[in-house]
Structure formats: structure tokens, C-alpha cells
């Protein structure tokens, strides 16, 4: 039996895909991660649980399954485009986010919930 030492490649690929989120095949995966990092992390944190500042603003914990279930994509999009009752939450267009990036950003947010 021949042994192929290909297993070294697997952890590298895994780390890369974890870093980029789930759909690494999407051409925009890297860009979206960058937008998230540059624009959202400040409040939502690198892990989606919310930064210290974000928690004071009242951000939801994106890793919480109950939260994820409580909001449809349409609900999230509405909050993202119109803002919410929470005065600390500004609509994302005010942060310079392109409307076309909202759906991919929702996927990033869903990915924190394991979906
Ligand atoms: C200045 C802090 C801040 C920044 C920056 C920020 N958010 Fe938020 N975000 C909040 C707060 C506060 C809430 C909670 C609003 C509420 O519960 O009414 C929230 C809620 C959300 C929600 C949930 C909306 C819902 O209906 O449940 C999503 C999705 C979201 N943010 C996405 C993003 C994305 C994507 C970015 C980056 C483009 C971003 N946010 C940047 C503060 C921020």
C-alpha cells in the first residue's frame, strides 16, 4: 500500500476556509470579510458576539441560536436599511455600506450562528 502524504494540505485548507467564513467559493468572500472587519467589527466584534462598546450599544449576540431564529433575513435587512428603534443603531448606508453588500453581509452574520 502506498502512502501519500497529502494530509498536510487539509489543515491549511481548513484554516483558510474558517478564516474566510463558509462560502469560500464566492468571489466576494474576501471583500465581505474586509467590509465586516472594517465597518462592523467595531460593534459586533470579530466573533459576532459583540465588542465591549457594541454590548453597551445593545448589539445582539450573532452566535446565539435563539437570536438567529428570532430574525428573518428580511427583518435583518429592514434594520440594516432603515435602522431600528435603538438610537445607537444607524442604518448601514450611513456607514458607507453599499446596498448590494447587504445580502452577503447577512450571510456573514448567519455564519456566526453556524448557518
Ligand atoms: C456603532 C455600532 C455598530 C456598527 C458599526 C454596526 N452595528 Fe450592527 N448593530 C448595532 C446595534 C446597537 C444593533 C442592535 C439594534 C437593535 O437591537 O435595535 C445592531 C444590530 C445589527 C443587526 C441585527 C438587526 C436585527 O434586526 O436583528 C445586524 C444584521 C447588523 N447589526 C449588522 C451589521 C453589519 C453588517 C455592520 C457593518 C456593515 C454593522 N451591523 C455595524 C450596532 C452597530
In tens, the pLDDT along 69-79 reads 999 999 999 99
Q: Is the pLDDT of residue 25 over 50?
A: no
Atom of ligand 1 nearest to the CA of 85: 18
Does the C-beta of 95 come closer than 6 Å to ligand 1? yes
Burial of 10 per CB tally in 10 Å (0-12, 13-18, 19+):
exposed
Structure confidence at residue 80 as a pLDDT band (50, 70, 90)? very high
Percent of the chain with pLDDT over 90: 65
Does the C-beta of 32 come closer than 6 Å to ligand 1? no
Please tell me the number of Cα atoms within 13 Å of 84 on its side-chain side.
Answer: 12
Does the C-beta of 70 come closer than 6 Å to ligand 1? no
Task: Return left, alpha or beta for 8; rule: phi > 0 is left, psi -120 to 50 is alpha, else beta.
Answer: alpha
pLDDT (tens digit per residue) in 26-57? 445 568 999 999 999 999 999 999 999 999 99
Distances from the Cα of 70 to the Cαs of 48, 49, 60, 73, 115, in angstroms?
16, 16, 11, 10, 14
Whose Cα sits closest to atom 29 in ligand 1? 76
Amino acid at each position: 500500500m502506498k502512502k501519500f502524504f497529502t494530509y498536510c494540505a487539509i489543515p491549511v485548507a481548513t484554516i483558510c476556509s474558517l478564516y474566510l467564513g463558509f462560502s469560500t467559493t464566492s468571489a466576494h468572500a474576501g471583500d465581505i470579510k474586509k467590509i465586516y472587519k472594517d465597518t462592523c467589527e467595531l460593534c459586533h466584534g470579530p466573533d459576532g458576539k459583540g465588542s465591549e462598546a457594541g454590548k453597551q450599544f445593545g448589539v445582539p449576540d450573532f452566535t446565539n441560536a435563539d437570536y438567529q431564529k428570532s430574525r428573518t433575513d428580511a427583518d435583518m435587512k429592514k434594520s440594516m436599511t432603515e435602522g431600528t428603534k435603538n438610537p445607537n443603531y444607524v442604518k448601514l448606508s450611513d456607514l458607507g455600506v453599499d446596498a448590494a453588500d447587504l445580502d452577503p453581509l447577512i450571510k456573514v452574520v448567519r455564519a456566526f450562528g453556524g448557518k
